[in-house]
Structure formats: structure tokens, C-alpha cells
């Protein structure tokens, strides 16, 4: 998917104070564009009463339950994913507040759908941090304090997560063939596309220096995993990835995620999602089916 927002930020290589001021003013204008469009997902007219009248496969229920818990976890434990540098950055911080708010409504909307389908309500969070949360919180605070380009990593990482999420919801809508779920997910998708556009725009701005881009490319190639690892078990994420990205259409969708990221400075040829799925899920080999409910 192409990002929907194009940068108007002047390049900084002139090194003049006025160029920096122009760049900051342009960034704030872009930010206003995103923040002004932030609102809870519009659930008006969703046919909740029809949810249970259409068949839903166990795979769809399981995938949706997993995705709901990931959306919910984002909201419950924001401190593990926000760095102080990003929150206090005037061109990022206000967006992150809106982003978190919108993700919270996604979690509520998916929970409402599952309830309408007769599924037990998702368990409430016990307010406990996972081991991954603790490690990420410590690593984030240390790297954020020591490395002024940390928000560039945060934005590139976020762009990849949002593009993966966006594509996963699109695949789920197609595979479910459920009219109400398709309607709901089309509304979620509008938000996810905007989230991706913001992260992508910010990542592109912050990866202009080749040394920064090279380091962040290395970190993503080495450490990136799909969102949800550590919140759900790796086995569950493997199941969801196998269900959504198996087959020729799933493989093509995977490549579209990577193709979007390849357009970032320094990311030519990057294939983080395809690499992870090839290694962890193996759903494109004939020998290791991963999509059956066990």
C-alpha cells in the first residue's frame, strides 16, 4: 500500500536556521493533519444482530480473538512501547496519544463482535507485565536516553507493524467471507492505513542520514518480529500468520508488506515479514501445514 501522505518537509542539508524552522513548521502542519482526523472508530450501522446468523469458522474466531488481545494489550501497557524521546517530540507525541486512543476502540469493537458471535468475552488483563514487556520497557528507556535517533527506529518499527496489521485485517476480511466482519474490518482498516501513513512519513523523514538508516535496517533485519509475539504465545502467532498468509494470495500479501517498507531510505531489498514467516511458520512449503486447528 502506498502511504497516503507525502512529505513537504524541506531538506535540511542547507544547514540554515531558517531551513530548520521551515522543516519544523511543515512537520507540525502534517501532524495537525493526522491529529485532526483522529476519532473513535465509527460503529454506526454495524449489523450486530446478524453476526451470529452467518457462519464463522473456528480459524476466523481464533484469529480474531488473538488480534483483539493484541489490540487490547497495546492500550493496557503503553509505557512499554513509548519512549520518552518520542512522547516529548512535538511532531510525534500528540499523534501517539491519538493512536493509542484509536487502538483502544479497535479492541472494544473486536470484543463486541466476538460477543455478538457468542464467544466468551476475552479475559480481562490482570495488569501484569509479561517478561517481554519488562525487557522492552528497560531496553526502550536505556536506548531512548542514550540514542537521539531512537524515534527513527520507533517510527520504522511502527510502520512495519502497522502495515502488517493492515494487511492481516485485509486478509482476515477476505478469508472470513462474513458480511458483518467485513464491514467492521473495513472501518478498522481506515484507521490502520492512517496509522501506517503517519509512521511511514516520520520514518522516511528520520532515515535520511545513511548512517542512521543503516543501523536501523540492521536492527530491524536482526530483531523485528510481528506484533503480538510475547503477548500471545509464539505458537499462536504462528497459527495466525499461517492462516492469514498461506497460499499464493497470502504470500503475495506478505510481499506487499515488505515492498512498502523497501521504499524507506536504506531498506532496499528488505524482507522482514517474508523472512520471519519463512523461518517460523514455513507455510509456503508443502511439508509443514500450519493452519489446522489443533
Nearer to Fe ion, 23 or 76 (CB): 76
- Considering only residues 73, 171, 195, 217, which one is a binding residue for Fe ion as defined by CB under 5 A? 195
Beta carbons of 30 and 90 less than 8 angstroms apart:
no
Nearer to Fe ion, 192 or 205 (CB): 192
CB of residue 257 to Fe ion, shortest distance in Å: 14
Number of residues that bind Fe ion (CB under 5 A): 6
Question: Which listed range, 111-119, 178-186, 193-201, 267-275, lies at the site for Fe ion (CB under 5 A)?
Answer: 193-201
Nearer to Fe ion, 200 or 212 (CB): 200
Asked whether position 192 contacts Fe ion by CB under 5 A, the answer is yes
- Pick from 60, 21, 8, 93: which is nearest to 184 by CA? 60
One symbol per residue from 96 to 125: x for binding Fe ion (CB under 5 A), - otherwise; what is it? -------x--x-------------------
CB of residue 209 to Fe ion, shortest distance in Å: 27
Nearer to Fe ion, 106 or 171 (CB): 106
- Pick from 193, 226, 191, 174: which is nearest to 106 by CA? 191
Residues 247-286 that bind Fe ion (CB under 5 A): none
Question: Which listed range, 90-98, 172-180, 188-196, 222-230, lies at the site for Fe ion (CB under 5 A)?
Answer: 188-196
Nearer to Fe ion, 106 or 283 (CB): 106
Nearer to Fe ion, 59 or 71 (CB): 71
Question: Which listed range, 62-70, 156-164, 167-175, 252-260, lies at the site for Fe ion (CB under 5 A)?
Answer: 156-164
Asked whether position 206 contacts Fe ion by CB under 5 A, the answer is no
Cα separation of 6 and 29, whole Å? 12
Nearer to Fe ion, 81 or 253 (CB): 81
Asked whether position 170 contacts Fe ion by CB under 5 A, the answer is no
Residues 21-80 that bind Fe ion (CB under 5 A): 71
Beta carbons of 23 and 206 less than 8 angstroms apart:
no
| Binding interface with Fe ion (CB under 5 A) | 71, 103, 106, 162, 192, 195
Amino acid at each position: 500500500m502506498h502511504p497516503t501522505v507525502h512529505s513537504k518537509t524541506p531538506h535540511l542539508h542547507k544547514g540554515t536556521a531558517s531551513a530548520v524552522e521551515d522543516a519544523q513548521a511543515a512537520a507540525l502542519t502534517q501532524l495537525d493533519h493526522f491529529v485532526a482526523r483522529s476519532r473513535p472508530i465509527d460503529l454506526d450501522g454495524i449489523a450486530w444482530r446478524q453476526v451470529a446468523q452467518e457462519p464463522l469458522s473456528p480459524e476466523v474466531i481464533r484469529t480474531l480473538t488473538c488480534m483483539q488481545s493484541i489490540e487490547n494489550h497495546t492500550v493496557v501497557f503503553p509505557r512499554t512501547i513509548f519512549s520518552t524521546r518520542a512522547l516529548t517530540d512535538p511532531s510525534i507525541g500528540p499523534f501517539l496519544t491519538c493512536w493509542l486512543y484509536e487502538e483502544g476502540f479497535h479492541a472494544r469493537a473486536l470484543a463486541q463482535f466476538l460477543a455478538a458471535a457468542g464467544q466468551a468475552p476475552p479475559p480481562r488483563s490482570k495488569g501484569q507485565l509479561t517478561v517481554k514487556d519488562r525487557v522492552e520497557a528497560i531496553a526502550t528507556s536505556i536506548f531512548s536516553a542514550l540514542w537521539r535517533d531512537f524515534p527513527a527506529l520507533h517510527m520504522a518499527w511502527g510502520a512495519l507493524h502497522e502495515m502488517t496489521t493492515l494487511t492481516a485485517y485485509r486478509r482476515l476480511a477476505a478469508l472470513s467471507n462474513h458480511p458483518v466482519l467485513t464491514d467492521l474490518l473495513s472501518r478498522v482498516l481506515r484507521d490502520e492505513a492512517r496509522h501506517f501513513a503517519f509512521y511511514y512519513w516520520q520514518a522516511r523523514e528520520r532515515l535520511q542520514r545513511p548512517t542512521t538508516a543503516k543501523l536501523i535496517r540492521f536492527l530491524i533485519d536482526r530483531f523485528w518480529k510481528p506484533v503480538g509475539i510475547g503477548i500471545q504465545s509464539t505458537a499462536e502467532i504462528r497459527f495466525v500468520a499461517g492462516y492469514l498468509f498461506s497460499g499464493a494470495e497470502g504470500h503475495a500479501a506478505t510481499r506487499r508488506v515488505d515492498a512498502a517498507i523497501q521504499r524507506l531510505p536504506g531498506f532496499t531489498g528488505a524482507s522482514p515479514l517474508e523472512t520471519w514467516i519463512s523461518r517460523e511458520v514455513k507455510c509456503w512449503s508443502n511439508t509443514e501445514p500450519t493452519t489446522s486447528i489443533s
